[in-house]
Amino acid sequence: MGGTIAGAASSASNHTSYKAGQIGLEQLVEAVPALRESAQTYDLLVEEVARIDSKDMDFAILARLAQRVAQLLAQDDVQAVVITHGTDTLEETAFFLQALLGPAKPVVLTCAMRPATALVPDGPQNMLDALAVACHHAAQGVVAVCAGVIHGAQDVQKVHPYRLDAFSSGDAGPIGFVEEGRLRLVRNWPAAKGLAGVASLEAVQAASAWPYVEIVLSHAGADGRLIDALVRSGVQGLVVAGTGNGTVHEARLKALLQAQAQGIPVFLSTRCPLGQLLKRDNESLTTVCDLSPVQARIALMLHLLSR
Ligand code: SIN
Is residue 191 a part of any domain in this protein?
no
Whether residues 133 and 27 share a domain: the answer is yes
Q: Which residue, of 185, 201, 230, is where some domain finishes? A: 185
pLDDT tens digits, 27-57:
999 888 888 887 778 889 999 999 999 999 9
Q: What is the pLDDT of residue 263?
A: 98
List Cβ neighbours of 246 (8 Å cut-off, separation of 6 or more).
268, 269, 270, 277, 280, 283, 285, 287
From the CB of 3, is ligand 1 less than 6 Å away?
yes
Angle at 295 between CA 291 and CA 300, to 5 degrees: 100
Whether residues 217 and 252 share a domain: the answer is yes
Whether residues 95 and 224 share a domain: the answer is no
Asked if pLDDT for residue 99 goes beyond 80, the answer is yes
Distance CA(156)–CA(162), nearest Å, equals 16
| Residue 155 pLDDT class (50, 70, 90 cuts) | very high
From the CB of 146, is ligand 1 less than 6 Å away?
no
Is residue 198 a part of any domain in this protein?
no
Atom of ligand 1 nearest to the CA of 1: 3
From the CB of 111, is ligand 1 less than 6 Å away?
yes
Whether residues 104 and 217 share a domain: the answer is no
CATH number, domain containing residue 49 = 3.40.50.1170
Mean confidence (pLDDT) of the chain: 96
Whether residues 47 and 107 share a domain: the answer is yes
Q: Name the catalytic one among 4, 87, 93, 110.
A: 4
Q: What is the pLDDT of residue 282?
A: 86
Is residue 196 a part of any domain in this protein?
no
| Pocket perturbation via mutation, ligand 1, pick of 51, 53, 158, 167 by most ligand atoms within 8 A of CB | 53
Is residue 73 a part of any domain in this protein?
yes
| Residue 306 pLDDT class (50, 70, 90 cuts) | very high
State the CB neighbour count (10 A cutoff) for residue 265: 18
Distance in Å, CA 4 to ligand 1 centroid: 5
Return left, alpha or beta for 71; rule: phi > 0 is left, psi -120 to 50 is alpha, else beta: alpha
* Nearest 10 degrees: Cα torsion 150, 155, 161, 163: -30
* pTM, 2 dp: 0.97
Whether residues 52 and 161 share a domain: the answer is yes
Q: Which residue, of 137, 169, 185, is where some domain finishes? A: 185
Is residue 192 a part of any domain in this protein?
no
Is residue 39 a part of any domain in this protein?
yes
Asked if pLDDT for residue 275 goes beyond 80, the answer is yes
Distance CA(95)–CA(166), nearest Å, equals 17
Distance CA(93)–CA(264), nearest Å, equals 25
From the CB of 175, is ligand 1 less than 6 Å away?
no
Q: Which residue, of 185, 220, 244, is where some domain finishes? A: 185
Is residue 194 a part of any domain in this protein?
no
Query: What total number of domains does the chain contain?
Result: 2
Beta bridge partners of 83: 109
Distance CA(171)–CA(129), nearest Å, equals 23
Whether residues 156 and 219 share a domain: the answer is no
Whether residues 167 and 234 share a domain: the answer is no
Atom of ligand 1 nearest to the CA of 21: 3
Angle at 66 between CA 61 and CA 67, to 5 degrees: 100
For the purposes of burial, counting CB atoms within 10 Å of the CB of 68, is it exposed (0-12), middle (13-18) or buried (19 or more)?
middle
Is residue 199 a part of any domain in this protein?
no
Residue whose CA is closest, atom 7 of ligand 1? Answer: 86
Whether residues 163 and 236 share a domain: the answer is no
Whether residues 218 and 180 share a domain: the answer is no
pLDDT tens digits, 227-273:
999 999 999 999 999 999 999 999 999 999 999 999 999 999 999 99
Domain encompassing residue 14: 4-185
- The answer to whether residue 110 is catalytic is no
pLDDT > 70 fraction of the chain, expressed in percent and rounded: 100
Whether residues 118 and 225 share a domain: the answer is no
Q: What is the pLDDT of residue 189?
A: 98
Whether residues 162 and 268 share a domain: the answer is no
Return left, alpha or beta for 4; rule: phi > 0 is left, psi -120 to 50 is alpha, else beta: alpha
Asked if pLDDT for residue 114 goes beyond 90, the answer is yes
CATH number, domain containing residue 223 = 3.40.50.40
